[in-house]
Structure 1
């Protein structure tokens, strides 16, 4: 489906609080369209963006009566359909043109010089870094990021140039809507087993995506990972490899962690680009930065501006985000919900806070992922001193799935001596309140509502 924007004045968003959706709301509102919509009553970080930055009026709760006859276009989250959302059903009944979020994003993206950032891990941070470098370098991009970027207080940039940078999600076949001119591929570890039943099917979706890059475009790929290198072999465009390994085109050298910052040199094709610094913890974020630099360098971004953008980069919401303190214990919220993400996040915590006892409060996300990767999850907590597993946070499409958090705890005890099961967030907050002190670091970890643990401890 294409959209004739000359015939559109008012757009209604079903699921308006989603980070990607609110980015579209901002882009389209800045272009002069009337925007409104609806979502659940659950609190999101995007509430403040909608109310205080965009002054958008929206409903909390879904009701068919919200779908008025003056709406020209409905954009809906892929979490909703006519079977589970009365507003979708009402819009279809009234024959109002409808389009999904990824379709709408694709329409905007494909009309520009589109740069897509994809991969199992790191795509949110890498997208934000790349867009911030482009902004700092005067390339004035439009950008859509899957979380709030702290410097922007938003998940979007609305630029005037032909560049558009997006975080491209592989789930539910969304790649089919995007025709990129250039792509960053960070990783391709099997995920979303409810949609990709096998590792090969997951890998195939990335292969098909990089094959869409035209010959005059290019692919920036992590050269330290065998699965990304295999995928890159199918690309018909120029391929640029980045990483710590000696065979990479853009190579990270002389890595140091000092005074709460990461320092590293970058070399491209035998030429030293300079020494860079990063406040974000973890070598995985150095890799994310290298990917953003490799792409920016291809567009002749000024190296000084690249350095400035990275050294001042504050990160994104729910990515090792400092929430506050409780009894002197540091409270962190993190989105990690895949075994590798858990490992690198806990390793970063251990490196940055070597003298603190690290608590990981993990909320498994979706029954299908937990069941498919149960063994990997059980072995991912090595760098935590204490582990608490909450009940599984099911997706909108599932309520159970033949696995329980107790199964994870029992298996994890084979590899870790301090793992326990606490069912609910409120019980975890009550338990931790009396356990933690100045020697502790608590990481609330997962893609559900586990952030309420850190917020709950902070507000006590």
Structure 2
């Protein structure tokens, strides 16, 4: 099939971060775009303002008329999060519409194009966004499909409008083995920690999928693999593919040296690809983001970006919404929001926060994401969360899952060794926070915890004013 054969694009699950980026691409390229999602969000509101028709009721009456009237001209794009009993999906299957998964369509958009793909169980959104920024800020033609809203561009889609053929930067999602639709020239693997075990079954199958992804890199291409990844995935590389390690390890092919925190900012030296770039300033905090920067710099160097442009662009990178996002900074308190939802992500995040605020009390509010992930990693969650001085744990955000017997936040709470710990329902968090004082407060999780941010920020601002007024 060819995308040009279709006039209408209809999305099931249009509000997802990856789906909405595709929707924006089709909308900007002259297609008629519509879709369904379960609930309105800031993203769906933005899409509607951009001309996309969206409905939130799962009924055939709510579905746009042009979908039902123009079957042959309508391509349906599906997210794996849509349940099997969804009425709209059942109708579209029964009527034999052309239905493709989001990842397959992304593979079609990037086919035979210069593509840099970033995969990994964590770190891929920041790394892909950083690569896109290094290229765009340096004047390199680039389009990017990202898994988060970049602070520099306010979108999850960067679109090149000039006559030149752009490099496409794509976030390669391991969920449901989606990344195996891509065939990149350049690839990055940021992490291969066990995750999505409801899909894969065990950690070995996760590693196997990443090995297959490495095998998708085109001959003559290069794959950069974090030195913390399972080394066996390098064996998946095909003939003529260059495999290089990267990270903080002293023996990595591309590495950061002399990493330090000065005046609240991270600095480091880059060594790799026959280049040494000294005293780089990273525009966002975090040791894990230094690793991400090493990967992004390496990709940029492969694409002939000058070291001067890299230095300038790296310092001006402002990160991704909900990735180490500094929401509020007052005289006595700080609020940081992060999407971390895996023990290793939380560990890296909290270690970096501690480096920035070594003398401050760290309080983390964490909403676990998925029953299966809580079941599989509750010990790891307890260990990583206990790096904070105080842990406030909420109920589990289920997303696509039904409850599992015996799996609740309590199994994490019982193992916490932080100096202070509390457990409340998510909606009770603001009232609890109103009772205390906080130096460094962090909201963490991939569920709905971010909906509390405006209220928590307002609470901290109110406390600051009260303290200032005596």
TM-score range, shorter chain: over 0.9
CA contact (8 A) 1:74 1:99 kept: yes
The alpha carbon displacement at 1:417 in A equals 3.2
What residue in structure 1 maps to residue 407 of structure 2?
403
Contiguous gaps of at least 5 residues in structure 1: none
What residue in structure 2 maps to residue 234 of structure 1?
236
SS of residue matched to 2:197: coil
SS of residue matched to 1:322: strand
Alignment CA distance shift 1:48-1:228 (3 Å): farther
Please give the per-residue CA displacement for 1:234-276, whole angstroms capped at 9, x wherever unaligned: 3231112222223222221122211111111112255423331
Please give the per-residue CA displacement for 1:385-407, whole angstroms capped at 9, x wherever unaligned: 11011111113132225311111
> Aligned partners of 2:330 and 2:435: how far apart in 1?
10
Given the alignment, which residue of 366, 373, 394 partners 1:390? 394
Alignment of 1:442 with 2:444, yes or no, is no
Number of matched pairs:
448
> Aligned partners of 2:278 and 2:415: how far apart in 1?
46
SS of residue matched to 1:340: helix
CA contact (8 A) 1:183 1:213 kept: yes
Alignment CA distance shift 1:399-1:128 (3 Å): same
The alpha carbon displacement at 1:327 in A equals 9.6
Given the alignment, which residue of 44, 48, 54 partners 1:47? 44
The alpha carbon displacement at 1:428 in A equals 1.3
What residue in structure 2 maps to residue 91 of structure 1?
92
The alpha carbon displacement at 1:355 in A equals 3.5
> Aligned partners of 1:306 and 1:321: how far apart in 2?
22
RMSD across aligned positions (CA)? 1.9
Please give the per-residue CA displacement for 1:64-86, whole angstroms capped at 9, x wherever unaligned: 221431361111221114x3321
CA contact (8 A) 1:260 1:279 kept: no
SS of residue matched to 1:379: helix
What residue in structure 2 maps to residue 122 of structure 1?
123
The alpha carbon displacement at 1:282 in A equals 1.0
SS of residue matched to 1:194: helix
What residue in structure 2 maps to residue 170 of structure 1?
174
The alpha carbon displacement at 1:328 in A equals 5.1
After superposition, residues 276-425 of structure 1 pair within 5 angstroms as: 276-324=280-328, 329-412=333-416, 415-422=417-424, 424-425=425-426
CA contact (8 A) 1:332 1:454 kept: no
CA contact (8 A) 1:118 1:186 kept: yes
The alpha carbon displacement at 1:162 in A equals 4.1
Alignment CA distance shift 1:458-1:186 (3 Å): same
What residue in structure 2 maps to residue 37 of structure 1?
35
The TM-score with structure 2 as length reference comes to: 0.90
The TM-score with structure 1 as length reference comes to: 0.92
The alpha carbon displacement at 1:156 in A equals 0.8
> Aligned partners of 1:271 and 1:134: how far apart in 2?
18
CA contact (8 A) 1:115 1:181 kept: yes
> Aligned partners of 1:122 and 1:434: how far apart in 2?
34
Once the two structures are overlaid, the 10-residue window that deviates more, 120-129 or 366-375, is: 366-375
Given the alignment, which residue of 264, 280, 290 partners 2:268? 264
> Aligned partners of 2:410 and 2:331: how far apart in 1?
29
Alignment CA distance shift 1:327-1:304 (3 Å): closer
Alignment CA distance shift 1:269-1:116 (3 Å): closer
The alpha carbon displacement at 1:365 in A equals 0.9
> Aligned partners of 1:280 and 1:140: how far apart in 2?
24
CA contact (8 A) 2:363 2:440 kept: yes
Given the alignment, which residue of 26, 29, 33 partners 1:28? 26
Alignment of 1:69 with 2:69, yes or no, is yes
Alignment of 1:216 with 2:216, yes or no, is no
Give the 4+ runs in structure 1 shifted more than 6 A.
Answer: none
